[in-house]
Structure 1
């Protein structure tokens, strides 16, 4: 877009800019390090796409963990308005991750086959940040810890999410503090275990949804959680579709069944009562 100001003003403004300071754009963002982190192993042109797709996804996941962790802290402190902003941002991050699959989907099966032998056993299944996100959202599975056992510091981080209450657990604890009837065994339990749906929890959410004016911020919390899981489901669906488009039903490089495993993940429900209550309203 052309700058509408007189050329002399624009020229003078640029002349006054000081680019000699100790902090530049590249310095602040560590651009040299970021742009030097791509090291293709094959001679194939398309490997750069494969690397950048996954590296940028990891950056978005880092931000998502930051937002979800901060939102959980807000919920623990009964500060829901700032939690809503962070949860909305996390949902938008999932949208970015969904759109990234569209770029990877430009890779055809022969193009992927040209780089696959160079990947060895490496797999997105081994992403420790993704595992932290799953655990933070309540999809607990002890078998997933073994994937990170070879790096004790990474294992400790993943296990910290595995051992802690999930975002949904913290939401239920907040509801109980507000006087809603949440069963005791959903307030203090073995956080390593997957969440189990409860009729009593659904009844508590139903009381919120049937009287949103009285429980407006809890009503909003329920919708923000639903938005987040909705976005996560879209990401999972796009993931399995992209993998099937590129490799069909071949086994994954990390040893999983590939598309078969990913399709099973489509059935995982993170916040079950928030979906069930819609039938009963």
Structure 2
């Protein structure tokens, strides 16, 4: 009787499989070398969730905000580097970083979808344990706002109790914003940007200008001549578009979860967040479109 034609093939396959398993075991023997958890500091990160209430849903609330702060850390890292790139005429590098910041904003927008699964009774169960803590006190978010041009001296106060963090926020408040550096770049390229928009008190809110709109219009009316500046304008548009979506999802999630109660930090809650929807970071980038 002839042997099964598949027997030798099966044995060969089994032997090969065993060999692969042994090779994998050898590779998995780290022999005391740095591990995945060591590199990412996972012990510290995964032990940082310490609910104060007995409610099951507080873990969602903590993880949501901790991961948002991690994304904001990366956003600041990229945003500050992009501002430096623009100040030093390294536009390709700036474009890469600004595109990444917009993608990070998309992640933050979708994060609200998870928090929105928390119902009003579930939030009410943990709210007394939050005391006066509030996202309003996020120093990283404040640095992002300042770096993108939304300067407001009153927003320095929530961080005054931490001199180390207050100094970082103060530095962002006093520095030229992303848009300030973009306008200085336009000026260096020979476009007619008023001196008052390239040499001014960077702590003051940005004043929209017809002359600045005309400078951007010159770029947008001849994209081939000003291709990198045109691309810069579109990167700014993408970024503010994503920021607007984040703000909108923020206000709708807060209204869904707490209604019109005041925020834990003492703000008006939804009423305050709705006012923020009207903030325009790069005004001429939007108004020029009507003139094209």
Structure 1 and Structure 2 fold alike (TM over 0.5): yes
Partner of 2:249: 238
Pick from 17, 20, 29: which aligns with 1:7?
17
Q: Alpha-carbon deviation of 1:9?
A: 5.4
Partner of 1:218: 229
Partner of 1:129: 140
Q: Which TM-score applies when normalising by structure 2?
A: 0.93
Segments of structure 2 that go 5 or more residues without pairing to the other structure are 1-15
Partner of 2:109: 98
Q: Tell me, in whole angstroms, the C-alpha distance in 2 between the residues paired with 1:227 and 1:13.
A: 48
Q: Alpha-carbon deviation of 1:20?
A: 1.9
Q: Which TM-score applies when normalising by structure 1?
A: 0.97
CA deviations 1:214-251 (Å, max 9, x no partner) are 10000000000110000000000000000000000000
Pick from 23, 26, 34: which aligns with 1:16?
26
Q: What is the root-mean-square deviation of aligned Cα atoms in Å?
A: 0.9
Q: Alpha-carbon deviation of 1:16?
A: 2.8
Pick from 260, 264, 276: which aligns with 1:249?
260
1:185-196 matched pairs, under 5 angstroms: 185-196=196-207
Q: Tell me, in whole angstroms, the C-alpha distance in 1 between the residues paired with 2:19 and 2:250.
A: 50
The yes-or-no answer on 1:174 pairing with 2:185 is yes
CA deviations 1:189-217 (Å, max 9, x no partner) are 01110001000000000000000001000
- In the TM superposition, structure 1's runs of 4+ consecutive aligned residues that sit over 3 Å from their partners are none
Q: Secondary structure at the match of 1:182?
A: coil
Q: Tell me, in whole angstroms, the C-alpha distance in 1 between the residues paired with 2:278 and 2:19.
A: 60
1:141-156 matched pairs, under 5 angstroms: 141-156=152-167
Q: Alpha-carbon deviation of 1:8?
A: 4.1
Structure 1 227/9 Cα, relative in aligned 2: closer, same or farther at 3 Å? farther
Choose 1 or 2 for highest CA Rg.
2
CA deviations 1:68-104 (Å, max 9, x no partner) are 0010111011010111010000000011001110000
1:26-65 matched pairs, under 5 angstroms: 26-65=37-76
Q: Secondary structure at the match of 1:180?
A: coil
Equivalenced residues, count:
276
Q: Alpha-carbon deviation of 1:11?
A: 1.7
Q: Tell me, in whole angstroms, the C-alpha distance in 2 between the residues paired with 1:240 and 1:48.
A: 21
Partner of 1:268: 279
